[in-house]
Amino acid sequence: MAEKQSIEQFKSQPRLPKFAIPRRYDLFLKSDLSACTFAGTTQITVDVVDKTKFLVLNAADLSVQNGSVWFKSPGSSEICPSEVVLVEEDEILVLRFDEFLPHGEGVLRIGFQGTLNDKMKGFYRSVYEHNGEKKNMAVTQFEPADARRCFPCWDEPAFKATFKITLEVPSSLVALSNMPVSHEKLDGPVKTLSFQESPIMSSYLVAVVIGLFDYVEASTSDGIKVRVYCQVGKSSQGKFALDVAVKTLDLYKKYFAVPYSLPKLDMVAIPDFAAGAMENYGLVTYRETALLFDDRQSAASNKQRVAVVVAHELAHQWFGNLVTMEWWTHLWLNEGFATWVSYLAADSLFPEWKVWTQFVDEATIGLRLDALAESHPIEVDINHASEIDEIFDAISYKKGASVIRMLQSYLGAECFQRSLASYIKRFSCSNAKTEDLWAVLEEGSGEPVKMLMNSWTKQKGYPVVYANVNDGKLELEQAQFLSSGSEGNGQWIVPISLCYGSYASQKKFLLKAKSEKLDVPELINSFDSNNKSFWVKFNVDQTGFYRVKYDHNLAARLRYAIEANQLSPTDRFGVLDDSFALCMACKQTLSSLLSLMASFSQENEYTVLSQIITISYKVINTAADATPQLLADIKQFLITLLSRSAERLGWDPKNNEGHLDAMLRGELLTALVQLGHDVTIKEAVRRFYAFLDDRNTELLCPDIRKASYVAVMKTVNSSNKQGYESLLRVYRETDLSQEKGRILSTLASSSDPTVVLDALNFLLSSEVRNQDAIQGLGGINREGRDVAWTWLKENWEYISKTWGSGFLITIFVSSIVSPFSSDEKASEIEQFFVTRTKPSISRTVKQSIERVRNNAKWVESIRSDESLGDIVKELANRKSLL
């Protein structure tokens, strides 16, 4: 009984006990790809550092044979545990020995078996076609906590060890792991590959891929071999990513002042893949859409996605793999940094893409999520493995990257880089916490980094700074911004920057208190002279993670500055997006937002126009609920606003045109189609049918295909489904994932509920890979939201079974729930999930319901906006906004 009780002590613990530490894994795996099974042994060199009769490590979904387990310390014979217990709910394997284990190193051996699952995690199977035949490949995806589904291990990031991997595979297949092969033994139909022992690393970065592949190869200036592996016959699609990878490795070596630490880097396209990509040490795995680029069939946006994802995963080879977070609470150190650094790399490789301008759009996604009461701090408590998946969210990635950018801009680029390099050096082959990074940066800069940054990483949310000019003084006051319109009680140390009249006059300081009055004599004098063209813009270049609400006078002057083209694109974006957010939070009227939008009539910048489009979608969807009688006029205004740029760009690519114009053309045409602009719809449909006749037609280049597909879906209804069927034909005939994705993302965009239902059911069919179903949800319009919700409820059991073990399920919930805008719906949704919530979706459910309630408030506030009707009429009647 006493012994039993001691097994109990290991249950329901957030972390493994630390009385034994793994140092080295000798892992053997062999798999049967047709039977979808695998078996293996792991011999783990463990250092027993405390008095114990137990060894406790992780294991899940594995069968471990009692007789296969023994422990051997040097000089003594093997001892077997008297009890081997796999505790399912805690995913731990507890080994109880009758005697105390000797201190020091010993070897633990465990034999195990498992199934190559179809859940895209652990050791799983992915399906590809070769010569018309379906075949399985075997792939690992271990982050965050699924190495334990492949072999018993200490599956926490701080238990770093070396890995010596051996694989037995069919001779005809390619088998890859983190390190290069050191020895190969061919034995008829099977071969045994031994890989070199890795440097010390965390278990979540171990990887194995077994299948049939072609590759392209190149070397870095240091002679590191880089390869891109893809489906047989597609290797030319790997060239772009290969080139990006080679250049990026050279760049990071300089930036971090530490070379890439492994002898090779492989990057592999996997047909079934839950995330976008995974940074396994030396063996990075990708969705096909995030790695492959086809010169003729891929769009400019696809190209940018590939470059950014590659740059992101390679950043992890330093930030994450070489220096690893101590626990998942510090996940943002991995993801926030990789996101930020990927922009640095993309900007250096492709300056014409202006990715730092595009970054503000990324930041906005973080700002939106973090304006919910149900947001979480960047540093978040994690008490169970099942809670980890949900924090791979916009807080860790986008807010994380944004607060890094904010800090870099406060400390200066050089000082920041120097300190980062020392951080990487100091924590190489080890683990770090958030405060370790602050300490290094504090040392390098002499600034109070820890105090400043704690306010951003340890509490959720962010401030809105109210800026008022009063009695010859500039008054600033901060309050927590919430999209519900209420005020939270958070307070921050805000790095304020402002420029006035021109970018030559700037000021920077820390706002530490709730409010502060400033004497800026030059500024106030210019106001006194009542010079209407004098403006003040806070948060210069949008480097700070906060919003600004200007008083009436300041706001009017900024509108003038926008019209007079005196603000940078990022600052124009900032003024617009802050205004949009304040409007959704009912702190500003829709009429004032629309008037501000009208001042963007001369806008040419990709990122700004793209945001105007995003705002337009949200505005028309909400207006449709709030003031349907004004909808047509609002649409007319938005069409006029976007038409000038659409006309400038036309339908066909111009010779040598820029990347941003190519992306912008597609987004503008899609928006005009969505807004119901007849001329655009007709032309889009015409071009689609030309494409249907001839897939090589010049009339429908990849950048504008989505616009055509949406237009086609607008022509479809329950009695005429021809357009939908034609789209399905293109879907079935293409073998490019990006093309499949483009089509999926539009199939549900019909306004006829029966067609939407067909499309949603198609997503669940065997013709759509599980990884891709979520793409289809993005296409659901306001007209489809009711049928989508009913569909979600009816299929919940299946959806939850199929996608519920990963983070993809959260996308089902958020994309179907969030578009609603009434309190009754919010309650109905709440009711539905009461009995269906699990730790892995609970945060998303709460956030989505909160969004619905916020939408409802916004609808009410729009209804009470008395000047809206007149303003909308006036804006709609302007033939052009010139």
From ligand BES, Zn ion, none, interface partner of 308 (C-beta below 5 to 8 A by class): ligand BES
Residue among 292 and 309 whose Cβ is closer to ligand BES: 309
**Is 335 part of any known ligand binding site?**
yes
Do residues 441 and 380 touch, judged by C-beta distance below 8 A?
A: no
277 binds ligand BES (CB under 6 A): yes
Q: What angle do CA 643, 646, 649 make, to 5 degrees?
A: 150
Residue with smaller CB distance to ligand BES, 403 or 871: 403
Amino acid at 870: D
φ, ψ for residue 72 (rounded to 5)? -135, 125
Distance CA 760, CA 754 (A): 10
Distance CA 466, CA 193 (A): 64
Q: Does 274 bind Zn ion (CB under 5 A)?
A: no
Closer of 388 and 631 to Zn ion (Cβ): 388
Of the candidates 144, 702, 776, 804, which one interacts with ligand BES according to CB under 6 A? Answer: 144
Closer by beta carbon to Zn ion, 110 or else 338: 338
Beta carbon of residue 122, minimum distance to ligand BES (angstroms, whole number): 12
- Segment interacting with Zn ion, rule: CB under 5 A, options 33-41, 55-63, 292-300, 338-346: 338-346
What does each C-alpha distance from 1 to 4, 5, 6, 7, 9 come to in angstroms?
5, 6, 9, 10, 13
Asked if residues 841 and 810 have their Cβ atoms less than 8 Å apart, the reply is: yes
CA-to-CA distance for 128 and 823, rounded, in angstroms?
Answer: 46
DSSP 8-class letter at 68:
G
By the rule CB under 6 A, 278 interacts with ligand BES: yes
Q: Which stretch binds ligand BES (CB under 6 A): 81-89, 211-219, 305-313, 482-490?
A: 305-313
Question: Which range, of 204-212, 330-338, 348-356, 553-561, touches Zn ion by CB under 5 A?
Answer: 330-338
Identify what 278 binds: ligand BES, Zn ion, none; CB under 5 to 8 Å per kind. ligand BES
Query: For residue 568, which phi and psi values (nearest 5 degrees)?
Result: -70, 160
Q: Which residue matches tokens 């506030």?
A: 861
In whole angstroms, the minimum distance from the beta carbon of 114 to ligand BES comes to: 20
- CB of 246 closer than 8 Å to CB of 224: no
Cβ nearer to Zn ion, comparing 147 with 626: 147
Binding segment (CB under 6 A) for ligand BES, from list 333-341, 511-519, 607-615, 767-775 = 333-341
Member of 308, 467, 511, 849 binding ligand BES (CB under 6 A): 308
From 83-91, 92-100, 127-135, 272-280, span contacting ligand BES (CB under 6 A): 272-280
- CA atoms 170, 172, 175, 181: torsion sign: positive
Whole-angstrom Cα distance, residue 290 to residue 292?
Answer: 6
Q: How far is the CB of 142 from ligand BES (least distance, A)?
A: 9
Among the listed residues 143, 156, 279, 313, the single catalytic one is 313
461 binds, among ligand BES, Zn ion, none (CB under 5 to 8 A by kind): none
Q: Which is nearer to Zn ion, 93 or 120 (CB)?
A: 120
Q: Would you call 698 a catalytic residue per the annotation?
A: no
Question: In this chain, which stretch among 195-203, 309-317, 619-627, 766-774 interacts with ligand BES, using CB under 6 A?
Answer: 309-317
User: Which 3 state secondary structure label does DSSP give 586?
Assistant: coil
Q: Is 272 one of the binding residues for ligand BES (CB under 6 A)?
A: no
What is the length of the chain? 882
Mention every residue, 6+ apart, whose C-beta is less than 8 A from residue 570: 356, 357, 360, 541, 542, 607
Shortest separation between residue 231's beta carbon and Zn ion, angstroms: 24
CA geometry: angle 463, 574, 448, nearest 5 deg: 45
Dihedral angle of Cα 425, 427, 432, 437, to the nearest 10 degrees: -30
Instruction: Give, as ranges, the residues between 804 and 823 that touch ligand BES (CB under 6 A).
Output: 807
**Alpha carbon distance 520, 472 (integer Å):** 9
Is residue 819 reached through a cis peptide bond, with omega within 30 degrees of 0 on the bond before it? no
**Closest residue to Zn ion, based on beta-carbon distance:** 338
Which residue stretch of 218-226, 304-312, 344-352, 447-455 sits at the interface with ligand BES (rule: CB under 6 A)? 304-312
Q: In this structure, what DSSP letter does residue 399 have? A: I
- Quick one: what does residue 465 bind among Zn ion, ligand BES, none, with the CB cut-off 5 to 8 Å set by partner type? none
Contact partner, 144, from Zn ion, ligand BES, none, Cβ < 5-8 Å per class = ligand BES
275 binds, among Zn ion, ligand BES, none (CB under 5 to 8 A by kind): ligand BES
Q: Which is nearer to ligand BES, 316 or 714 (CB)?
A: 316
279 binds ligand BES (CB under 6 A): yes
Query: Phi/psi at 576 (nearest 5 deg)?
Result: -65, -45
Residue closer to ligand BES (CB basis): 247 or 785: 247
277: partner contacted, choices Zn ion, ligand BES, none (Cβ within 5-8 A by kind): ligand BES
Q: Residue 736: which of 693, 705, 708, 766 has the closest Cα?
A: 705
The amino acid that residue 448 corresponds to is P
Determine the Cα–Cα distance for residues 492 and 549; give it in Å rounded to an integer. 16
Contacts of 629 (CB under 8 A, 6+ apart): none
Site residues (CB under 6 A) for ligand BES, limited to 383-422 = 392, 397
DSSP 540-556: GGG-SS-EEEE-HHHHH
294 binds ligand BES (CB under 6 A): no
Alpha carbon of residue 710 to chain centroid = 25
Nearer to Zn ion, 40 or 336 (CB): 336
**Among 206, 338, 345, 671, interactor with Zn ion by CB under 5 A:** 338
Which amino acid is residue 183, in one-letter code?
H
Quick note: the x/- pattern for ligand BES over 101-130, rule CB under 6 A, is ------------------------------
316 is annotated as contributing to ligand binding: yes
Question: Does residue 276 touch ligand BES according to CB under 6 A?
Answer: yes
By C-beta, is 339 or 622 nearer to Zn ion?
A: 339
Residue environment code for 26-47, b if the CB has 16+ CB neighbours within 10 A, otherwise e: bbbbbbebeebebbbbbbbbbe
Compute the least distance from the CB of residue 146 to ligand BES, in Å. Answer: 9
Binds 110: which of Zn ion, ligand BES, none (CB < 5-8 Å by kind): none
Please give the C-alpha separations between residue 212 and each of 75, 141, 174, 735, 826, in angstroms, as whole numbers.
Answer: 45, 18, 6, 17, 48
Q: Residue 438 is encoded by which pair of tokens?
A: 């602050």
Q: What Å distances lie between residue 694 and 300, 689, 700, 710, CA to CA?
A: 21, 9, 10, 19
Q: From the list 46, 153, 193, 309, which residue makes contact with ligand BES (rule: CB under 6 A)?
A: 309
- Which stretch in 99-107, 331-339, 340-348, 779-787 sits in contact with Zn ion by CB under 5 A? 331-339
Q: Is 298 in contact with 736 (CB distance < 8 Å)? A: yes
User: Does the footprint of Zn ion cover residue 309 (CB under 5 A)?
Assistant: no
CA-CA distance, 478 to 511, in Å (whole number)? Answer: 9
Strand partners, 93: 57, 86
Binder of residue 850, out of Zn ion, ligand BES, none (CB less than 5 to 8 A by kind): none
Q: Choose between 120 and 701: whose C-beta lies nearer to ligand BES.
A: 120
Annotated binding site: 312, 316, 335
Which residues sit at the interface with Zn ion, rule CB under 5 A? 335, 338
Binding site for ligand BES (CB under 6 A): 143-144, 275-279, 308-309, 312-313, 316, 335, 338-339, 392, 397, 807
Q: Give catalytic residue positions.
A: 313
Which residue numbers belong to the known binding site for Zn(2+)?
312, 316, 335
